[in-house]
Homo-oligomer: A and B are copies of this chain.
Amino acid sequence: MTTDIAKRVYDHSWKLDPIVRSLLDTDFYKLLMLQLIWRRYQDVEVTFSLINRTRHVRLADDIDEGELRAQLDYARSLKLGKKEWIWLAGNSFYGVKQIFEPRFLEWLKDFQLPEYELSRRHGQYQLDFHGPWTHTTMWEIPALAIINELRSRSVMRTMGRFELDVLYARAKAKLWAKVERLQKLKGLRIADFGTRRRHSYLWQDWCVNALKEGLGEAFIGTSNVEIAMKSDLEAIGTNAHELPMAMAALATTDEEVRQAPFKVLRDWRDMYDGNLRIVLPDAFGTAAFLRDAPDWVAHWKGFRPDSAPPIEAGEQIVEWWRAKGQDPRDKLIVFSDGLDTDEIEQVFRHFDGRVNMSFGWGTNLTNDFRGCAPAAREDLDPISLVCKVTSVNGRPAVKLSDNPAKATGDPAEIERYLRIFGAVGREERALTV
């Protein structure tokens, strides 16, 4: 075995192994939402904040602050590359050409991530992004990916060469066993939604490759724009809770708060059509949403229930479509809430033939190392880390969710929202990821 001396010396003199190396290493829906925000809400100031729902994991103890700053600073140095820009302009998304308008792409050419505020408190990092919504929104995914990967790295630094070898061998074997189970679901459509919670970039890339190799046509793409571009896959995703949360926070009356979710849909409808019209109904409770929704919402392509138990939520939506005279078999439900193989199988079999489905598979795809280390340890288990809108033009933002464990915002504001939307169907369920 000949050692390449130059390579070895170079490898050992790395200053930084950057986690996020491209502005497109983010979720596709961020770009669709960004275009909307850029067109309509350029003057809105939004704060995003890191929230670690797994409180017993003390991130500030596990992750070195200097390393975290170095990674965040590196991400701030990124600008859209030329070939990335050309790809965004020239590629079709969801079958539509030029989904991004030329002026938006021009604006994006100069985009860089804005400043961040980082401090430590009670063993956690307080990480906030203040500024124009058009800028702070783009921090969500890279911030989460950076923290999750720094956490993995800090654990793996304590492991030997052989332990790491077994760790990844087992993680690969574990994922492939899941792939083999999913192969049995004829007509399955599943996408990678695991960017934010991934163990690492390289691991997400491996997982995507595994789904591509193992599932063929059933693997419909990835939410990760950079990986989609690199691997000629479909970029998947539409919109997220930040839209109704910001609209509700901007509202000046309770009635405007109540109408906020529908204002979002109107904004969306003006920009995107067809398969991009997917409703995310649970920001303030799915039951309230369906109760108050105007009839035209029933003409949208589908729903993405994201916090209620999937079969229950799906049945509720199917029933609602029927009540509105829609045939669910023309419709799509995108399941995306903390899924793993068991639940995917159950949900698929439950709805097979009754409604079109697709699955957005996140944390349990790209960060399932439970039981994989040679010596039993839990510090590689995924945590429930999010980066959420906390204030909009200085006003507090709230998410109620169908699961109170996923609610965010000031308790008094949550109370107010609960008075407006009601609490029907909300039920506390443990968050595993």
Chain A residues within 8 Å of B, Cβ to Cβ = 2, 4, 7, 160, 162-163, 165-166, 168-170, 172-174, 176, 209-210, 213-214, 374
Pick from B4, B169, B173: contact of A4, CB under 8 Å: B4
- Interface pair B176/A374, CB less than 8 Å apart: yes
- CA–CA, A166 and B163, complex, Å: 18
Residues in B with CB closer than 8 Å to A169 are 168-170, 172-173, 176
Q: Is the CB of B162 within 8 A of A210?
A: yes
Docked pose: A214 CA to B209 CA in angstroms: 30
The 4 closest A-B pairs by CB, nearest first: A169-B172, A173-B173, A169-B169, A170-B173
Flag if B214 contacts A374 (CB, 8 Å). Answer: yes
The docked-state distance in angstroms from the alpha carbon of A265 to that of B165 is 45
Contacting residue for A166 out of B160, B165, B170, B176, CB 8 A: B176
Most chain B Cβ neighbours within 10 Å, of A4, A169, A176: A169
Closest to A170 in B: B173
A164, chain B: closest CB distance, angstroms: 11
A166 touches B172 (CB 8 A): yes
Contacts of A166 in B (CB 8 A): 172-173, 176, 210
Can you name 9 A-B pairs with beta carbons within 8 Å? A4-B7, A162-B209, A166-B172, A166-B173, A166-B210, A169-B170, A170-B176, A173-B173, A214-B374
| Residues from chain B with Cβ under 8 Å of A374 in the complex | 176, 213-214
Q: Return the contact of A213 from the options B7, B162, B172, B176 (Cβ within 8 A).
A: B162
> Which residues of chain B are near A174, meaning CB under 8 Å?
173
Provide the residues of chain B in CB contact with A173, threshold 8 Å: 166, 169-170, 172-174
A209 partner residues in chain B, CB cutoff 8 A: 162
- A163: chain B residues within 8 A (beta carbon): 213
Contacts of A210 in B (CB 8 A): 162, 166
Query: Bound complex: CA of A7 vs CA of B163, how far in Å?
Result: 28
For the complex, what is the distance from the CA of A404 to the CA of B201, rounded to whole Å?
56
CB distance from A226 to the nearest CB of B (A): 15
Other than the known A166-B176, A168-B169, A170-B173, what 5 A-B pairs have Cβ atoms closer than 8 Å? A160-B213, A162-B209, A166-B173, A173-B173, A176-B374
Chain B neighbourhood of A4, CB < 8 A: 4, 7
Question: Separation in Å of the A426 CB from the closest CB of chain B?
Answer: 41
Residue of B nearest to A163 (CB): B213
Q: How far is the CA of A298 from the CA of B160 in the complex (A)?
A: 46
- How near does chain B come to A412, taking the closest CB pair, in angstroms? 51
- Bound CA span A162–B179, Å: 13
Q: How far is the CA of A173 from the CA of B166 in the complex (A)?
A: 7
Closest to A7 in B: B4
Task: Output the nearest chain B residue to A160 by Cβ-Cβ distance.
Answer: B213
A163 to chain B, nearest CB (A): 8
A168 to chain B: closest residue by CB: B169
**Nearest CB to that of A212 among chain B residues?**
B162
Question: Please, which residue of chain B has its CB at the minimum distance from the CB of A4?
Answer: B4
Contact B165 A172 (CB under 8 A): yes
Report chain B residues within 8 Å CB of A170: 169, 172-173, 176
| A130, B374: Cα distance in complex, Å | 48
Q: Return the chain B residue nearest A172 by Cβ.
A: B169
Chain B residue at minimum C-beta to C-beta distance from A169: B172
- Chain B minimum-CB-distance residue to A180: B374
CA distance A2 to B174 in the complex (A): 31
| Distance of A177 from chain B, by nearest CB (Å) | 9
Residues of B within 8 A of A168 (CB): 169
Which residue of chain B is the closest to A213 with respect to CB atoms?
B162
B residues near A165, Cβ cutoff 8 Å: 172
Q: How far is the CA of A213 from the CA of B172 in the complex (A)?
A: 20
In the bound complex, how far is the Cα of B4 from the Cα of A374, in angstroms?
33
Residues of B within 8 A of A176 (CB): 166, 169-170, 374
